[in-house]
Structure 1
């Protein structure tokens, strides 16, 4: 078991496999370091892959102080894993909560980033949805405190953007829900309040995102309604952003459609490494649909 210690003294558990250009995988709220099996197995053939548990997710430490959590901490922790690998730069790949973290790595530490993949990212970001998302986040935090992870996983695990995974792969979905059921109640409730509920809206960061020159691939499931509007905003805002929408898919696309997800990542990595993922051609940005004058 490998651990590293962050600059504020929190121990993070991580696993690594393979050699080559580093990829750091960042899990979603309902997951942990076990959330990337298909990607770790596939990409470790040609890359140095790392997956880790966020603070609050055993075997990583579970700080008791709410101030030890936050969106900035989530981004800095991903870079701490890169430091533990002894590498200067990496591709950062995150889903949902991890997708937000990957974007914030790009904003806070652009010199450490080769490229970003942000999937399932956007919940609560749209101004019309922010208040409702924060109220729901508080409800979930209280559920961990009052019901416990195992009980609440029975309903959280079959949310409207997770039933797609259940329908396609019942066994894989059951394993996914079991990971959620094993969460630390304290770590999950603090993460939900201090990271999820409290994170800044991506719409408020549009100026920073527009100035971000890093390659970005955004991936969404077409039935993950909570992210689609925000992901279109990211496509239209970040200069080097591509958007892939997976058909008949929900929130955990890396688990739900691993072959398609991996092909998208592989193409993205290859294009970035060969200088082929440049900014959008300005001629494609027009109020005209045909270019007629």
Structure 2
């Protein structure tokens, strides 16, 4: 199996297709397999790479809490690209993965052709951060002790921002639930406690975000309540960002509406590659 070495963990990855690279970074409640619809679609024209985050088999599951967190999440994305000899890529992330992609754009803009940030920002609004962090610590402890099968998976799959998938695509929802039950309790528990529950508020990055010029597509479902405020705020501060809100859609936007998601992302990537994303004055040819 292919692995990329990173700080304290080996990261399993898969790749398919040829062309300009796209790196896909998954959310907390999923793994690399959630990108299958995107890999099949985009690999027709791009070199697509998806990897399992640390704590998510077949990647390593470190037992030390210090080996989890937002710094490791960004470092892991860099490690995969460098292992594959890729100097620059489009970076597509969902939720936890979108948080890592945004921080990647801030810290390594020279490596980002563009960013697609889907469902980013839960827990970031200042009025919600304390409760979000407290809930992450409690949930992380439960996952470490009990794992996913049973109540934790059912609660996640029927949450207000995920029930839309079950209503639209029961077969897809069942496949998602099966993958969820296979996750490592200790790995996701430590991720929940020390990445999700200790990460910065995106609002703390305002001064840096206002200077970040990486072309960015913000994608959010209109029923993804915890993320809407952060996305509208990001649209107001990022100088080179566009916002796409998908109607009647919750958090896992790429699973709920794969055709619409692929269409919007493909159009964005094409516009970026043609040098037509920026709306700065003087661009007209």
Compute the TM-score of the two structures, normalised by the length of structure 2. 0.96
Post-superposition offset of 1:158: 1.2
Q: Partner of 1:211: helix, strand, or coil?
A: coil
Asked if 1:182 is matched to 2:174, the reply is: no
For 2:157 and 2:196, the matched residues in 1 are separated by 17
Q: Which residue of 1 aligns with 2:135?
A: 136
Listed as ranges, the matches of 1:38-77 within 5 Å are 38-77=37-76
Q: How does 1:22-101 map to 2 (within 5 A)?
A: 22-101=21-100
Say if 2:271 is the partner of 1:276: no
2:26 touches 2:52 (CA, 8 Å); kept in 1?
yes
1:138/1:197 contact within 8 Å kept = yes
1:257 aligned partner: 257
Deviations 1:30-83 (A, max 9, x none): 111101011000000000000000001000001111111110110111111111
Q: Quote how far apart the aligned CAs of 1:88 are.
A: 0.7
**Pairwise CA distance, 1:147:** 2.8
Offset, 1:279: 4.5
How many Å separate the matches in 2 of 1:135 and 1:177? 25
Contact 1:27–1:97, Cα closer than 8 Å, also in 2:
yes
CA distance in 2, matches of 1:186, 1:119: 26
- Note if contact 2:145-2:185 (Cα within 8 Å) is conserved in structure 1: no
Worse-matched range after superposition: 147-156 or 36-45: 147-156
Query: TM-score, structure 1 length as denominator?
Result: 0.94
Aligned counterpart, 2:121: 122
Using the alignment, how far apart are the partners of 1:24 and 1:208 within structure 2?
23
1:157 deviates by 1.5
SS in 2 for 1:30: coil
Supply the distance in 1 between the matched residues of 2:153 and 2:279 (Cα, whole angstroms). Answer: 41
Contact 2:10 2:59 in 1 (8 A): yes
Provide the secondary structure at the position in 2 that maps to 1:133. helix
**SS state at 1:34 partner:** helix
Contact 1:96–1:120, Cα closer than 8 Å, also in 2: yes
Q: Following TM superposition, by how much is the alpha carbon of 1:280 offset from its aligned partner in structure 2, in angstroms? A: 6.2
**Is the 2:8–2:67 contact (alpha carbons within 8 Å) kept by the matching residues of 1?**
no
Per-residue Cα deviation, 1:189-232 (whole angstroms, up to 9, x for no partner):
11001110100001110111111010000000000000000000
1:280–1:143 Cα change, 3 Å: farther
Whether the 8 Å contact between 1:96 and 1:121 is mirrored in structure 2 is: yes
Q: Distance in 1 between matches of 2:145 and 2:60?
A: 22
Q: Tell me the SS of whatever aligns to 2:123.
A: coil
Shift of 1:132: 1.4
Unaligned runs of 5+ in 2: none
Contact residue 101 and residue 117 of structure 2 kept, 8 A: yes
Alignment correspondent of 1:207: 207
Q: SS of 2:33's equivalent?
A: coil
- RMSD of aligned residue pairs (Cα, Å): 1.2
Structure 1 equivalent of residue 220 of structure 2: 220
Find the aligned partners of 1:139 and 1:218 in 2 and give their Cα distance: 30
Residue 84 of structure 1: CA displacement? 2.2
The answer to whether the Cα contact below 8 Å between 2:18 and 2:45 also exists between their aligned partners in 1 is: yes
CA deviations 1:85-130 (Å, max 9, x no partner) are 2111000000000010100110111110000000011100000111
